[in-house]
Chains A and B, each alone.
Chain A
Amino acid sequence: MSDAPLILCADDDPDILALLALRLEGAGFRVVQAVDGEQALALARELRPSIAVLDVMMPRLMGVDVLKALRADPSTRDLRVILVSARAQQSDIESGLAAGADAYLAKPFQASDLIGVVRGFLDS
């Protein structure tokens, strides 16, 4: 279990955060949870996870800002980032991808979709 890939999940909604963790742990990954953007950034720098799943609308630091900070830092530049948001307009998705996200999932999403994307990144 300890050698399973580590996934960072960040969402300010505790129910959704718990759901993400449940689903990813159920799929055999290790999960570390953050409740806001600042914590997510700190954990990403400290723990070097394989993948980060970030909610876009978070207090203190928005998901997109965390993403930009990760991309600006050489040590975390290559971290795979999946943005998750209830803002699902075409324009939201485009701006998320333009900021450097590897994938953008609109809420509500199916657990299988999320796990599929995560597996896809880990395999490549």
Chain B
Amino acid sequence: MRVGSSAEVVELVTTPLGEGFRGRGGMALPTRVSTVFASVGAVAIGVYFMLGFDGKALWYVVIGLGSVGAIFVGARRLERGRTAWYLFGFGLLFSVAADAVSGYYEVFRDREPPVPSSADVLYLTTYPVLIAGIVLLLRELGVHRSRVAVLDSVIVTVAVGIVQWVFFVEPYAHSSLRTVTRIVGISYPTMDLLLLVALSQLLLGVGSRTVAYQLLIVAVVLWVVGDEIFGLSVDNYAAGGWVDMFWLGSYVFWGAAALDSSAAHEAPRDRRAVPRLTIRRLALLAGALLTPPVVLVIEHEWPQHNIHPVSIAIGGVLLALLVVVRFAGLVRAVEGARAAERAANNRLRELDRLKDEFVATISHELRTPLTSISGYVELVRERADAESSGYLDVVERNAARLLVLVNDLLLVARIQSGQLDIDLGGTVEVGSLVSESVASAQPHAAGANVALRLRSGTGPVRVRGDRRRLAQVLDNLISNAIKFSPNGGAVDLSLERHDGTVVLEIADQGIGIADNERGRLFDRFFRASSALDRQIPGTGLGLYISRAIVEAHGGRIEARSVEGEGSVFVVELSIDR
């Protein structure tokens, strides 16, 4: 099942990338080859358990050779990182040779090979070669070399070391066997320890996201599990027993990994300087920290080994210290980041202050020439004929427009830095304020052939606030409504009192605002696409400023609209009691 499902993923990923696994000699591997190989392998393992004793010994070697062959075939087509896979091939070849030696003893001598034998030499050669292959692969994948990554590896090594020591090494170390036998016996769990550490790196790295490496991880896990079960029950082991399933499975997965097309792809490299504290990494560290107590409990419940509490205690203390160092580093990194953030904030505040100063200066520098322009235009106008006077109107209008823009920009800068100067001490009668604004906008409305109508049903209503600023909001909303109205349209203002608040609505029959733009209508420099399409002039500052002023008064401003039918702007202010 496992292989089948991953192969489907592979097909999805690799079909458009046929180039990626085309061999050097033009040899192309079909996408499903690794699935086929794994299926055949599974059947072969099934057959193994049905064979007689002699057949098993032979078949074991056949399966092993098949995997070695698959690895070499798979490695040949790789563009890069081939050495690692060749090392796997040679490593497993040593193992298969050792299997053959064991088989020879079992079939022809009718006994297990002695310890040590040439089989042990071959088996023990397998491990360093496989580990070297994994290390090479990790380098290819861009393994982390930071202090933190090394620390994590050391923590995992210590934890696995405790397990290996208590369950596998210690019994040998203190047994009465011959020294050579003891050394060989200790060598296997030690090699497994190294293999497990290499495996943990593979698991944590980005390689675990690629199908080929996932298969490889399964192969290594099966290998180590087989070793560990064998190590725990070495006296009960008989060739052809169920434990063989793990090693045979490891062979098959290793071959399938090499054949999988994803091995040929550039694995996603992790370019972070320090690895992220992922859930997986955290789980591994937590598991490592819990190793000593778990080992103690297991030995307490099922006492089999002559454990040494001191050695577990030493391991536990070492682990605890390492984890403390690891997390102290993390905490210090976070603190460092906070300090950097504070410094950055201070720098930003300073920049903000400089910006305000800059805006104030620029505004001053712009107003000074505008003063000259409008002053001298005014002077010339007194002596100008009708035609020149018309031209001077244009100059004056544009100077006025420029002045409005300068004022608006200055206001925006002040709003941004929270320095909008609003005098909330005054009392403003809204009815008269609105009538004044309507009256002063009448010429503009008449010029645009737009009817400007006010309906007030409130009588005098007072609010606390800045009359000049509130008038600015009204002027802005009314001039917008006129600007967006069609020729012959109407702008209707209504003033109403709702409990505790006074609500002003300004409705036009203009082009309206699209639904998806209404949320950004009050943003700085935002202009509705309907306005841009029709080339209606504007800076996108008016509504932003209006909202800031209304909100500074504790009020609310919003827009309702049906595109193409018009918009309604609503301003709501609290009545002063």
Contact = CB atoms under 8 A, between A and B. Distances in A.
Contacts of B360: 87, 89
Name the residue in B360, B372, B403, B414 with the highest tally of chain A Cβ atoms < 10 Å from its Cβ: B372
A86 B368 contact: yes
Given A13-B372, A15-B372, A16-B372, A88 B378 contact: no
A107 B368 contact: yes
A108 B363 contact: no
Interface in A85-113: 85-91, 107-111
A86 B371 contact: yes
B423 A108 contact: no
A90 B425 CA distance: 14
Contacts, number: 55
A85 B363 CA distance: 11
A89 B379 CA distance: 27
Say what secondary structure dominates the interface of chain B. Answer: helix
B423 to A, nearest CB: 7
Contact of A22 (B373, B379, B403, B421): B379
B371 A108 contact: yes
Contacts of A110: 378
Interface string B358-396: 001001111110111111101100000000000000000
B367 A86 contact: yes
A87 B362 CA distance: 10
Contacts of A13: 368, 371-372
B371 A107 contact: yes
Given A19-B372, A19-B379, A108-B370, A86 B364 contact: yes
Interface residues of A, number: 19
A57 interface: yes
Nearest to A111: B378
Interface string B401-412: 001000100100
**Most chain A CB neighbours (cut-off 10 Å) among B371, B376, B410:** B371
A86 B399 CA distance: 15
A87 B371 CA distance: 12
Contacts of A107: 367-368, 370-371
* Chain A CB within 10 A, most for which of B365, B366, B375, B414: B375
B371 A109 contact: yes
A16 B421 contact: no
B367 A108 contact: yes
A86 B360 CA distance: 10
A22 B379 CA distance: 9
29 contacts: A13-B372, A15-B372, A16-B372, A16-B375, A19-B371, A19-B372, A19-B375, A19-B376, A22-B379, A57-B364, A86-B363, A86-B364, A86-B371, A87-B363, A88-B367, A89-B410, A89-B421, A90-B421, A90-B423, A107-B367, A107-B371, A108-B367, A108-B370, A108-B375, A108-B399, A109-B371, A110-B378, A111-B375, A111-B378
9 A-B pairs with least C-beta separation: A86-B367, A108-B371, A107-B371, A15-B372, A90-B421, A86-B364, A19-B375, A108-B374, A86-B368
Given A13-B371, A86-B366, 17 more contacts: A13-B372, A19-B371, A19-B376, A85-B364, A86-B363, A86-B365, A87-B360, A87-B363, A88-B367, A88-B407, A89-B414, A90-B421, A91-B421, A107-B367, A108-B374, A108-B399, A108-B403
